[in-house]
A = this chain, B = another copy of it.
Amino acid sequence: MPTIEDVRTAAAGLHGRIHRTPMVESSALDELFGGRLTLKAELFQKTGSFKVRGLLNKTLKLTAEERERGVITVSAGNAAGALAWAARDAGVPATVVMAKTAVPAKIAAARAYGAQVELVEGDLMGAYESIRDERKLTGVHPFDDLDVIAGHGSLALELLDDRPEVDTVLVPVGGGGLISGVALALKLIRPSIRVIGIEPENADVVSRSLAAGSPQKLPTAKSVADGLAAPVCGTHNYAIIAQYVDQVVRVSEESIIEATRLVMSRTKLALEPAAAAPFAALLEGKVELGTLTAGVVSGGNLDVAKLAL
């Protein structure tokens, strides 16, 4: 498991290369939910999501030989753009394996950052492994990796620094990458803080893993929150979540859609559905607010082509 020093070292390495994202408050949301909320507006991060924290940290820590070979990852979308961007920043060739059904804007972003995009149908993970081995590329797991987790933890340091009075933190959950880094850092610094994960009912591999007592796989996972539709819970992620996360709750597709519209209309943040998961949990009454509750607005890579005007 990463130590808090690993997280601090990652944050120092990221400093100046990525954005320090702002906290956003909304009196309309506070009124609606009956408590004080603050939003970590990570949609303003480089590449439009938190993913670049972990993936840039990982890229910076590769050996010269690993960089030389080039990197490859597999992604629902945001990790692809983030690795492509991080690799370009570090002068490393990048390949990303994505589903043919990924949000077109996310595919376009990975290409725009210079990555070679391999679009596949069916078994994404299998395609990733075989391309990695065939081409002798350096595999970078999008979330089940200690350097990626430590990089994601940098978000928690900023949050505690900007809003030291936060006592409850709501984090969207896919394969467990973001929440493992954030929960680890938060609890190592302040064990009393409450960390709650939110995942879609339709893609609930982390809830199932916690219930089973070990990391599980789903045959498929599909959600309007495409960023949360990971079919596997990472092994490292699982261990950290089991130790540090207080609770993982599940939300419906309808709540995610309603929460996306609600948060967009009240805050004017163009968040993607994955980022609205914390507010879906509040809409469903599944989470009790703290004195000050932070919601991590994890990304903003919406499919704008579908925006009806």
Contact = CB atoms under 8 A, between A and B. Distances in A.
Interface of A: 43-44, 48, 105, 224, 257, 260-262, 264-265, 267-271, 273, 300-309
Contacts of A270: 264-265, 267-270
Nearest to A112: B28
A264 B48 contact: no
Given A43-B268, A44-B268, A48-B268, A257 B309 contact: yes
Copies per complex of this chain: 2
B308 A307 contact: yes
Contacts of A224: 309
A43 B265 CA distance: 11
B308 A306 contact: yes
Nearest to A105: B265
9 contacts: A48-B268, A224-B309, A260-B309, A264-B302, A265-B301, A265-B302, A270-B270, A273-B309, A306-B309
Nearest to A260: B309
A48 B306 CA distance: 22
Closest 8 CB pairs of A and B: A268-B300, A306-B308, A261-B304, A270-B270, A43-B268, A265-B304, A268-B270, A264-B270
A260 B307 CA distance: 9
A198 B36 CA distance: 39
Q: Is the interface of A mostly helix, strand, loop or mixed?
A: helix
A305 B307 CA distance: 10
A226 to B, nearest CB: 10
Contacts of A302: 264-265
Nearest to A268: B300
A281 to B, nearest CB: 17
Contacts of A257: 309
Nearest to A108: B265
B300 A261 contact: no
Contacts of A307: 260-261, 264, 307-308
A304 B273 contact: no
Contacts of A305: 261
Contacts of A273: 309
Contacts of A48: 268
A263 to B, nearest CB: 9
A222 B307 CA distance: 19
A301 to B, nearest CB: 8
Nearest to A262: B304
A308 B304 CA distance: 9
A190 to B, nearest CB: 29
A257 B308 CA distance: 9
A305 B304 CA distance: 15
Contacts of A306: 308-309
A105 B261 CA distance: 11
A271 B301 CA distance: 15
A302 to B, nearest CB: 7
